[in-house]
A and B are shown apart, each in its own frame.
Chain A
């Protein structure tokens, strides 16, 4: 049994009469990533706030890096890094001064603090902007600075609350790479996201949060298998071919749907090799294809599938 660096036991949190977390139990082993998937309001941020000692739980216990978040907040705080949904950097200070400040507060001497700051600025490609006030930074730079700030103390556990929301694709991939490197170095990560592909790429385990409850958990693959299919969508070169295309795909054993508005036909598939089946079927029926795409299930699909399942269980 590997050591769990994050452990929650039936953690609940209510605000007034509203339940934000409902008996959440999780285990995150050292040097792994747990992806917490959920829409806005599912309770992701509340859970992170509880784990990072910002909010006391209403019920249940939580331990981070071996320390109780309620009884030993100091010990927890010196072992975690937190990157919130909104970059929390001091806008008036330069990027470097922001990092030096955190290092000094963590107990580093002046020189040590400056060295650590420069190290991180280098790592996050912020050296050129190091002495400019953070208020002039772009969204991506700010996010990188924020992440750098949460890494100053070389934490054992990092909480990333929707780290890539609002980032451009390049910054997004850059951040993913950093997370992967951190985990490679032994850091444990809890990451919240609304994107299934992000969880898929980074997380060893995924937990789906809905209405404050964990409604499903497992590896991303397991989750996707449960949701089922990816979807092949073919835009038809000639919309008049729609009926022929539907017939051809039905003939190939698929269950196609016609999207008249976009002049496209789409069909759920279970494996990517079925892409070839689609192409062959359409080709044989003499249907000319304009564009062809395979799309991954989205968080909505996950929710939909889980809702179906819950409804089925209810019956």
Chain B
């Protein structure tokens, strides 16, 4: 065939084309990430609610605690919103991480994963794709949250734009690593209700028994003890230090290091659990 390819040529060649040999892992991840993101956009209500939820938290906490705590947080960064926002960034990220696990189980339940399992692809691609899609979702969520805080609540921390972005980046890293932990849990547990409960139990006590909303010395003594061993306190403090341009010290490094370790362990456990047959 030397001439130009005409329409009829292409038609005849599609009669029994060669077999597709399977896609490469990067293509698998790309295609599957696209799928998850598209599914997200397909239901705008979910997007709106997921963006609204942290904003509601921000309004509630800033209004409820703002006045009462004006004095005690002033030393740590001026207005309460400056103190609060880094914490909301981290907790929003963690909430988003719990959703990763639930999303994976939903896929298992509606059978799509069974179809993927019977395709010549690496199962790990499915997990990596979900993790990346969730990372993108969380990033959008956090950026909207940050912008809203600047525009609506006059968030203006001492760390300026770079400090704020640093706080956001750290929250994102924490979210990503915990997302893998929840993916690991999901691929071993495989029950939606159980995952929801685990997510709730992990979230709420840790969130309140930390430095998220009030400085540690404003907590009752026993709760101070809990908060001091609560890893969330360290993640929030690190994020807050970045935003407020406080002396960062080793806090940020250890928060990042812990996240990295969790990410690695979570990913390893998730891959193992996910590979188990149905």
Q: Show the binding face of A for B, using Cβ within 8 Å.
A: 49, 52-56, 74-75, 77-80, 82, 84, 86-93, 97, 101-108, 115, 119, 133, 149-150, 153-154
Q: Please list 11 pairs of residues, one from A and one from B, whose beta carbons are closer than 8 Å in the complex, sorted by A's number.
A: A49-B278, A78-B19, A78-B22, A88-B115, A92-B43, A103-B20, A105-B32, A106-B23, A107-B22, A107-B23, A149-B115
Contacting residues, chain B, for A82 (C-beta < 8 A): 114-115, 118
Chain A's nearest CB lies how many Å from the CB of B238? 36
Identify B119's interface contact among A49, A91, A105, A154, CB under 8 A.
Answer: A105
B74-115 interface code vs A (CB 8 A; 1 in, 0 out): 000000000000000000000000000000000000111011
Separation of A148 and B121 alpha carbons in the complex (Å): 19
Q: Show the binding face of B for A, using Cβ within 8 Å.
A: 14, 16-17, 19-23, 27-28, 31-32, 35, 38-39, 42-43, 110-112, 114-121, 277-278
Whether A104 pairs with B42 at a CB distance below 8 angstroms is no
Separation of A55 and B117 alpha carbons in the complex (Å): 10
Chain A's nearest CB lies how many Å from the CB of B147? 27
**Beyond A55-B278, A92-B43, is A104–B111 a contact (Cβ under 8 Å)?**
no
Contacting residues, chain B, for A92 (C-beta < 8 A): 38-39, 42-43
Chain A: which residue is nearest B277 at the CB level? Answer: A55
Chain A: which residue is nearest B24 at the CB level? Answer: A107
Contacting residues, chain B, for A86 (C-beta < 8 A): 111
Contacting residues, chain A, for B277 (C-beta < 8 A): 49, 54-56
Chain A's nearest CB lies how many Å from the CB of B192? 15
Separation of A91 and B110 alpha carbons in the complex (Å): 8
Contacting residues, chain A, for B38 (C-beta < 8 A): 92-93, 97
Contacting residues, chain A, for B115 (C-beta < 8 A): 82, 84, 88-89, 102, 149-150
Whether B23 pairs with A53 at a CB distance below 8 angstroms is no
Whether B111 pairs with A78 at a CB distance below 8 angstroms is no
Interface SS of B by simple majority:
loop
Chain B: which residue is nearest A108 at the CB level? Answer: B20
Whether B118 pairs with A106 at a CB distance below 8 angstroms is no
Whether A107 pairs with B114 at a CB distance below 8 angstroms is no
Contacting residues, chain B, for A90 (C-beta < 8 A): 35, 39, 110, 112
Chain B: which residue is nearest A56 at the CB level? Answer: B277
Whether A104 pairs with B19 at a CB distance below 8 angstroms is no
Separation of A82 and B111 alpha carbons in the complex (Å): 11
Identify A154's interface contact among B19, B31, B110, B118, CB under 8 A.
Answer: B19
Chain B's nearest CB lies how many Å from the CB of A85? 9
Separation of A133 and B14 alpha carbons in the complex (Å): 28
Separation of A82 and B278 alpha carbons in the complex (Å): 15
Chain A: which residue is nearest B39 at the CB level? Answer: A92
Chain A's nearest CB lies how many Å from the CB of B84? 34
Identify A74's interface contact among B35, B110, B120, CB under 8 A.
Answer: B120
Whether A106 pairs with B120 at a CB distance below 8 angstroms is yes
Whether A88 pairs with B120 at a CB distance below 8 angstroms is no
Separation of A90 and B42 alpha carbons in the complex (Å): 12
Whether B21 pairs with A107 at a CB distance below 8 angstroms is yes
Separation of A304 and B121 alpha carbons in the complex (Å): 44
Whether B42 pairs with A78 at a CB distance below 8 angstroms is no
Chain B's nearest CB lies how many Å from the CB of A243? 56
Contacting residues, chain A, for B121 (C-beta < 8 A): 105
Identify A77's interface contact among B28, B35, B118, B278, CB under 8 A.
Answer: B118
Whether B31 pairs with A101 at a CB distance below 8 angstroms is yes
Separation of A104 and B17 alpha carbons in the complex (Å): 15
Separation of A27 and B39 alpha carbons in the complex (Å): 41
Separation of A75 and B121 alpha carbons in the complex (Å): 11
List the 5 closest pairs (A to B, CB-CB), nearest first. Answer: A88-B111, A92-B39, A107-B20, A78-B120, A77-B120
Separation of A140 and B78 alpha carbons in the complex (Å): 62
Contacting residues, chain A, for B118 (C-beta < 8 A): 52-54, 77, 80, 82
Separation of A104 and B30 alpha carbons in the complex (Å): 10
Separation of A82 and B38 alpha carbons in the complex (Å): 24
Contacting residues, chain A, for B21 (C-beta < 8 A): 78, 107
Separation of A105 and B117 alpha carbons in the complex (Å): 11
Chain A: which residue is nearest B117 at the CB level? Answer: A54
Chain A: which residue is nearest B20 at the CB level? Answer: A107
Chain A's nearest CB lies how many Å from the CB of B14? 7
Contacting residues, chain B, for A87 (C-beta < 8 A): 111
Chain A's nearest CB lies how many Å from the CB of B219? 43
Identify B14's interface contact among A54, A84, A115, CB under 8 A.
Answer: A115
Separation of A104 and B117 alpha carbons in the complex (Å): 15
Whether B119 pairs with A106 at a CB distance below 8 angstroms is yes
Chain A's nearest CB lies how many Å from the CB of B10? 9
Chain B: which residue is nearest A186 at the CB level? Answer: B16
Separation of A307 and B117 alpha carbons in the complex (Å): 37
Chain A: which residue is nearest B111 at the CB level? Answer: A88
Contacting residues, chain A, for B111 (C-beta < 8 A): 84, 86-89
Chain A: which residue is nearest B42 at the CB level? Answer: A92
Contacting residues, chain A, for B110 (C-beta < 8 A): 88, 90-91
Chain B: which residue is nearest A90 at the CB level? Answer: B112
Contacting residues, chain A, for B27 (C-beta < 8 A): 104, 107
Chain B: which residue is nearest A97 at the CB level? Answer: B38
**Beyond A49-B278, A78-B19, is A89–B112 a contact (Cβ under 8 Å)?**
yes
> Contacts A91-B110, A154-B16 given; 7 further ones with Cβ under 8 A?
A79-B19, A88-B112, A90-B35, A92-B39, A92-B43, A93-B35, A115-B14
Chain A's nearest CB lies how many Å from the CB of B111? 3
Contacting residues, chain B, for A104 (C-beta < 8 A): 23, 27, 31
